[in-house]
């Protein structure tokens, strides 16, 4: 492969050149070609246009701003500190090599400048927070796509009751289509179990590198265990990254230093993050879920449209997290009664759940420039995931820009829920999306309700991304947690 790199450090007399040397050596070892521009005190030998044009990926190892960055527009860029290049040039090249296929794969989506990992050492807190989230999201997207499409396939082949099929380890008949559908469903579900841990793990990885992977994954798994959903995963990832970054600052005797990244940091990081997630976050979430359920039960006699809007908003709030679960369980619980209201509630909840992925797919298609290349990539599977009532398809969008995406989705899902109630659409299946449309009472108006919600959510998210200061450029948009974590 061919790489170009720029190195730059504050004084411009040592690390700039050490990083260049380390990268050149690592490239030689891999049998790759690499040209380096050292932006240091000795003046720089600029990269030639031919080198840049021929490069498969760009490596920026810099603690100060890199001059003339726009030369690299359209190339996959991997950013790191000069120290990272000096200490682990080989893994930096690995990252750059991995960034390459994304450009090739972007197809009609235009050139992609989004690498697998992109964290700038000297960026503002808000920019770094977004880069951390984007790193986590970029690793989650393939899980969402693979798992979600398998689940959608299982609904298409086996109907909505496929989730009730026995474990394929107990019964699997190669001649039966239902068996294959059950298999697809169970593999897809297995892939979905990774969503939150992978999100948390790679957010932590972006913040504090390899030693933070384990605390991040473990924190994410703990978030799943306490039912905290993807928002809990975001918290776990940021916590893990912050804790490990903090632990790394502690000076240790040289005898221990060698085992710090492999043993000590993962061990203590996991203990701290796991404890916080289970003990501090677990109980309040359980209590809040109980309170929300009680509150919903009290609402039963309320205005139908209002109930639909509340349930819809809850479905979109955390995309499979605790609030979403309360609303969904409330709807499914009513199905056993078979009453007309219960069937209307089920229809409203499914309509609301289909809106987020569809709306994000629509927004990323009609207004591509508001979305990163990774998000545009995930918009294609999102169409099918939304149509199949797999709300998790919107997680990549929500996790990379929660403050603008989640409120938009809540508005859209609430509209869909309210309209579905207003039209009196009914549904007796607990899931299945468009595949159970034949089971919907008043399917035409039902589709209208969903489309209306999709249009509302997509319009609001585009407006929010256009007019509410973009995270990459504005400093005041970052959530409050960021200060504590970055400190």
Partner 1 sequence: MSSELITTELVDLDLPDTDRRAAIRSLADRLVNAERVTDIERFLDDVETREQQMATGMRGGIGIPHCRSAAVTAPSLAFGRSSTGIDFGSEDGPANLIFLIAAPEGGDSDHMAVLASLARRLMRGEFKRTLLDANDPAVVASYVREEVKP
Q: Which residues are catalytic?
A: 9
Q: State the minimum distance, in angstroms, from the CB of residue 22 to partner 1.
A: 5
User: Of 12 and 269, which has the nearer Cβ to partner 1?
Assistant: 12
Choose between 12 and 215: whose C-beta lies nearer to partner 1.
12
From the list 76, 1, 2, 73, the residue with the least C-alpha distance to 36 is 2
Nearer to partner 1, 12 or 197 (CB): 12
Checking DSSP bridges between strand 2-8 and strand 57-62, what pairing results, if any? parallel
Q: Decide whether 15 or 404 has the Cβ nearer to partner 1.
A: 15
Output the smallest distance, CB 44 to partner 1, in A.
10
Minimum distance from residue 89 beta carbon to partner 1 (Å): 9
Nearer to partner 1, 81 or 113 (CB): 81
Which tokens is 175 given?
Answer: 């001649």
β-sheet bridge partners, residue 57 = 3
CB of 38 to partner 1, least distance (A): 7
d(CA 25, CA 239) in angstroms, rounded, equals 35
| Closer Cβ to partner 1, 251 or 369, answer by number | 251
Tally: H helices and E strands in the chain: 20, 4
Query: Which of 63, 318 has the CB closer to partner 1?
Result: 63
Distance CA 215, CA 192 (A): 20
Residue found by looking up tokens 């309320």 in the block: 302
Distance between first and last Cα of the chain: 38
**Cβ–Cβ under 8 Å, residues 64 and 21:** no
CA-to-CA separations, 425 to 6, 233, 419, 451, 461, in angstroms, rounded: 60, 35, 9, 14, 27
To the nearest whole angstrom, how small is the minimum distance from the Cβ of residue 202 to partner 1? 22
* Contact footprint for partner 1 (CB under 8 A): 10-18, 20-22, 25, 38, 40-43, 63, 83, 86-87, 248, 251, 254, 257-258, 260-261
Q: Which helix (H) or strand (E) holds 3?
A: strand 2-8
Q: Which is nearer to partner 1, 7 or 112 (CB)?
A: 7
Round to whole Å and give the CA distance between 144 and 324: 18
Q: How far is the CB of 9 from partner 1 (least distance, A)?
A: 9
Tell me how far CA of residue 234 lies from CA of 102, 218, 291, 348, 390, in angstroms.
24, 13, 23, 28, 20
Asked if 378 contacts 358 with a C-beta cutoff of 8 angstroms, the reply is no
Strand partners, 38: 7
Cα separation, 235 vs 349, in Å, equals: 27
CB of 47 to partner 1, least distance (A): 17
CA–CA gap between residue 147 and residue 127 (Å, rounded): 30
For residue 65, CA distances in Å to 113, 115, 265, 421 come to 18, 18, 31, 54
Going through 28-111 in order, the beta strands assigned E by DSSP cover 33-38, 57-62, 77-80
Lateral strand order in the sheet of 57-62? 33-38, 2-8, 57-62, 77-80
């Amino acid at each position: 492969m061919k790489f170009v790199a720029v190195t730059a450090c504050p004084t411009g007399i040592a690390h700039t050149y050490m990083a260049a040397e380390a990268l050149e050596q690592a490239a030689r070892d891999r049998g790759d070609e690499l040209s380096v521009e050292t932006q240091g005190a000795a003046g720089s030998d600029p990269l030639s246009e031919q080198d840049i044009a021929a490069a498969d990926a760009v490596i920026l190892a810099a603690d100060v701003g890199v001059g003339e960055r726009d030369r690299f527009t359209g190339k996959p860029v991997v950013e790191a500190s000069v120290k990272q290049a000096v200490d682990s040039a080989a893994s930096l090249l690995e990252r750059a090599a991995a960034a390459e296929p994304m450009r090739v794969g972007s197809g009609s989506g235009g050139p992609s400048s989004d690498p697998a990992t992109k964290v700038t050492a000297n960026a503002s807190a808000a920019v770094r927070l977004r880069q951390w989230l984007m790193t986590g999201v970029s690793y989650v997207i393939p899980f969402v796509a693979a798992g979600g499409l398998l689940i959608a396939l299982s609904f298409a082949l086996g109907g909505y009751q496929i989730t009730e099929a026995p474990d394929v380890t107990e019964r699997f008949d190669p001649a039966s289509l239902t068996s294959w559908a059950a298999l697809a469903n169970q593999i897809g579900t297995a892939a979905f179990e990774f969503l939150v841990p992978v999100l948390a793990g790679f957010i932590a990885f972006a913040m504090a590198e390899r030693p933070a992977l384990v605390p991040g994954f473990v924190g994410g798994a703990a978030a799943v265990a306490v039912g905290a959903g993807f928002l809990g995963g975001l918290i776990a990832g940021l916590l893990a990254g912050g804790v490990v970054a903090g632990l790394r600052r502690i000076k240790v005797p040289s005898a221990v230093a060698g085992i710090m990244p492999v043993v000590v940091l993962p061990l203590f990081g996991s203990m701290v993050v796991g404890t916080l997630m289970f003990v501090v976050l677990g109980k309040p979430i359980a209590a809040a879920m109980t309170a929300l359920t009680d509150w919903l039960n009290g609402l039963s006699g309320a205005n139908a449209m209002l109930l639909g809007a509340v349930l819809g908003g809850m479905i979109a709030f955390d995309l499979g997290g605790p609030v979403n679960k309360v609303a969904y369980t409330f709807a499914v619980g009513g199905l056993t009664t078979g009453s007309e209201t219960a069937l209307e509630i089920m229809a409203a909840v499914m309509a609301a759940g289909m809106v987020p992925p569809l709306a994000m797919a629509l927004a990323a298609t009609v207004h591509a420039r508001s979305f990163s290349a990774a998000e545009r990539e995930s918009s294609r599977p999102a169409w099918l995931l939304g149509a199949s009532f797999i709300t998790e398809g919107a997680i990549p969008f929500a996790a990379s820009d929660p403050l603008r995406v989640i409120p938009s989705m809540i508005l859209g899902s609430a509209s869909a829920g309210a309209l579905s109630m207003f039209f009196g659409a009914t549904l007796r299946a607990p899931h299945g999306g468009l595949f159970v449309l034949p089971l919907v009472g008043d399917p035409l108006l039902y589709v209208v309700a969903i489309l209306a919600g999709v249009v509302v959510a997509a319009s609001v998210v585009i407006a929010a991304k256009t007019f509410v200061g973009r995270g990459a450029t504005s400093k005041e948009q970052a959530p409050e947690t960021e200060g504590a974590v970055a400190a």
